[in-house]
Structure 1
Amino acid sequence: MTTTLDNAQPTTDDSDVLGTLIDEVIRPQAGTVDRDGAFPRQGVDALGAAGLLGLASSPEVGGGGQGMRTVAELIERLAAECGSTAMVVLMHYAATAVIEAHGPREVRTAIASGGHLTTLAFSEFGSRSHFWSPTGTAAATDDGSVRLDARKSWVTSAGEANSYVWSSLPLTPGAGPMTLWLVPADSPGLTVAGDFDGLGLRGNGSRPMTADGLRVPADAMIAADGAGLDTALGVVLPWFLVLNAAFCLGLADSAVAEAGRHLTGTTLTHTGAALRDAPVTRRAYAQLKIRTDALRAFLGDTLTALETSREDAMLRVLQVKALAGETVAGVTDGAMQLCGGSAFRKELGLERRFRDSRAARVMAPTTDALHDFVGRVATGLPLLDEANR
């Protein structure tokens, strides 16, 4: 399937803007990004210059006007080549969703133009993966501004993004469980701690950030005071979970493809048979292929449920990341086993995909949390109990 990715203008395989960027920038640098833990700045800038960071922005502000399905395909294709780049762009689109809904026009226009990278800043040291329970504070000041204080534990593109969709306790006690703010990267009092030296997604720049007396104007508030949780669940969460599933699909599909090339192209000298000629090997490969194609089908159904406002749309959204996280973990693990010692070599690319895939299980909402959410919704309970709201 060919989907246009260039500001909604028709395209062909020969003029596929994303494909060209993948071939010329993103794929050649993926190994270096992983090895050095380097933020994929060149790839992100190239995507911005091509208009792809503004793909989901409204045409009213110069954006591509595309929906979640098209953006999910972009994330899938990026993840197949460089998980770090895909995660940076994924978080940009999750933050863009709420900025498009409630943010200032000038920032929306900057995102649409490709010159503004944004991201989410939800996870905190005090509440860890329970993003719906912020501990950071917001307080009115005498000069009419708002003071934010918080210790954020994981912020993708920390120190690299131009803005952060920031969560805190409400400005007015009792207004609600959470308030969201749009925090410019150059805000005094905002600091980034250390470098990211992780197992996988080594170039995604996920680092702790601290707000110590950070000041923002009162109109930096996104939506109403205390309405941040409803905004996060209703606007951000569908984009975040669906794009995470697309990210997992890209990793899994590329791992299966790489394993298939290895099994087809590797011959045993003493027998003359290719690795694929063994029935047990073909069976194991088929299982990986089936799991990956099943995830693709489920993701497609989730997107259809959202597009048609189907009754089970939110249930599908909660299910899809849980399914995707377990699928990609199992598929990349199976691909490593199928390819044996060759998979441990960097040049095959499998061990990088294996490491990158581990993040899906622990990114909030974690797989365990999503299983609980699915169970709650499927049995008629609210997504969160009152204690967590």
Structure 2
Amino acid sequence: MTASVDNARPDSDDSTTLDTLIDDVIRPQAALVDRDGTFPRQSVDALAAAGLLGLASSTDVGGGGKGMRTVAEVVERLAAECGSTAMVVLMHYAATAVIEAHGPREVRSAIAAGDHLSTLAFSEFGSRSHFWSPTGTATAGDDGAVRLDARKSWVTSAGEADSYVWSSLPLAPGAGPMTLWLVPAGSSGLSIAGDFDGLGLRGNGSRPMTADGVRVPAGAMMAADGAGLDTALGAVLPWFLVLNAAFCLGLADSAVTEAGRHLTRTTLTHTGAALRDAPVTRRAFAQMKTRTDTLRAFLGDTLTALETGREDAMLRVLQVKALAGETAADVTDGAMQLCGGSAFRKELGLERRFRDSRAARVMAPTTDALHDFVGRVATGLPLLDEANR
């Protein structure tokens, strides 16, 4: 497993910029994005203009040169305000990890400059959440181009991204289980099916995509033919899982903050007591906060394991999204119960966080799959059966 990490917090200028964007753009847009199910274009463009979409890009192409810890904090803060925006940015950073390692310099430079949004296109109708088992094909043409055919089940930022990190079966049978390609948006034969009208993350633009004879140059291949799974596990998975954990932490922490504010400010007229004055309420709130702080500590330890090359780094990476998904779901559920009928109204923002938090459990690798992976690694088995490699 390889991943670019650092132990620094965002530069003060980056933090100040993010504070301003959250106050001026992202927070005011969050409820509208959720209500209308619209892609958060205004927020994404503002982040791009501020240089935050190029935060993980190398300095040699003009990027921020920041590693996973810094980027995770950005995702956490975005998720606390707008889950849809955070998910779009998360997937962009995961795609950037592959493009930085294997993509063309012009695309890397465009990402660094904030002129290019990318995303992952792994999940397929045929294999569902088993992203490691693509069914889409790649076929070499006589003219040196490659034909891609696939039915992708869900692609974040579909129709909004400038490129897609695309998985397929290898060109050469037996070369390996998967090959990765960089597919430009607008490629002939690339289509999107319908709109996304989901329970949560309603503005993340997650829609099915189809490649019907999409032609890309052979140079669009990222890494060697058949080496896509190793690239996905080594370059993509750490970023994807850790940033998902940061996303869940942002949701959980903001739910705790909002619940605490409600319990403190709300009083019972007939007694004059605040809701927080009841011991049973304080106990429930304490449990939510403790679970959230536990996730924060575990995420921090995971990042440290990656930064120091610790032997258990792979195990921590697999554990952190499973822990985070369950924590966010349970904490937001607890906040809904603790705040009662008020939480069902849009004003508190708790019901939106409750809905957004459900995605982590079913987003590949699902919590069930991650528990299996953890069990395999912890007992000395390979992460995947040879049949899946």
Provide TM-score, normalisation by structure 2.
0.97
SS state at 1:11 partner: helix
Q: Which amino acid aligns with 2:384?
A: L
2:348 counterpart of 1:348: yes
Cα distance in structure 1, aligned partners of 2:225 and 2:60: 27
Instruction: Report the identity percentage.
Output: 87
Q: Choose from 11, 14, 37 the match for 2:13.
A: 11
In structure 2, distance between residues paired with 1:309 and 1:186:
40
Q: Is the 8 A contact 1:322 1:367 kept in 2?
A: yes
C-alpha displacement at 1:61, in angstroms? Answer: 0.1
- Match in the other structure for 2:3: none
State the alpha-carbon separation in 2 of the partners of residues 257 and 269 from structure 1.
24
Q: Report if aligned partners of 2:103, 2:222 keep a CA contact under 8 Å in 1.
A: yes
Separation in structure 2 between the aligned mates of residue 12 and residue 114 of structure 1, nearest angstrom? 14
| Corresponding position: 1:126 with 2:123 | no
Look up the SS of the partner of 1:186 in the other structure.
coil
**Match for residue 382 of structure 1?**
382
Q: 1:3: how far off? A: 6.7
AA partner of residue 49 (structure 2): A
Is the aligned partner of 1:45 residue 2:45?
yes
Show structure 1 runs of 4+ deviating over 3 A: 2-5, 10-13
CA distance in 1 between counterparts of 2:305 and 2:366 reads 22
Q: Superposed, which structure 2 residues align to 1:269-348 within 5 Å? A: 269-348=269-348
Is the contact between residue 242 and residue 321 of structure 2 (CA under 8 Å) also seen in structure 1? yes
Equivalent position SS for 1:243: helix
Aligned length: 383
In the alignment, the residues of structure 1 paired with residue 184 and residue 13 of structure 2 have an alpha-carbon distance, to the nearest angstrom, of 35
User: Which residue in 2 is equivalent to 1:197?
Assistant: 197
In structure 2, stretches of 5+ residues that fail to align are 1-6
Q: What is the correspondence of 1:223-242 to structure 2 with a 5 Å cutoff? A: 223-242=223-242
Question: For residue 318 of structure 1, what is the amino acid of its counterpart?
Answer: L
Native 8 Å contact 2:346 2:352 kept in 1: yes
Q: Retained in 2: the 8 A contact 1:4–1:11?
A: no
2:365 corresponds to = 365
Spell out the pairing of 1:69-218 with structure 2 (5 A cutoff): 69-218=69-218
State the AA in 1 paired with 2:21. L
Q: Specify the code of the residue in structure 2 equivalent to 1:152.
A: K
Give 5+ residue unaligned stretches, structure 1: none
> Are the counterparts in 1 of residues 288 and 334 from structure 2 also a CA contact under 8 Å?
yes
Return the alpha-carbon distance in structure 2 between the equivalents of residues 237 and 19 of structure 1: 29
Q: CA deviation at 1:142?
A: 1.2
In structure 2, C-alpha distance between the alignment counterparts of 1:4 and 1:323, rounded to whole Å: 23
* Letter paired with 1:105: R
Q: CA RMSD in A?
A: 1.1
| Aligned-partner SS, 1:347 | coil
Q: Which amino acid aligns with 2:197?
A: D
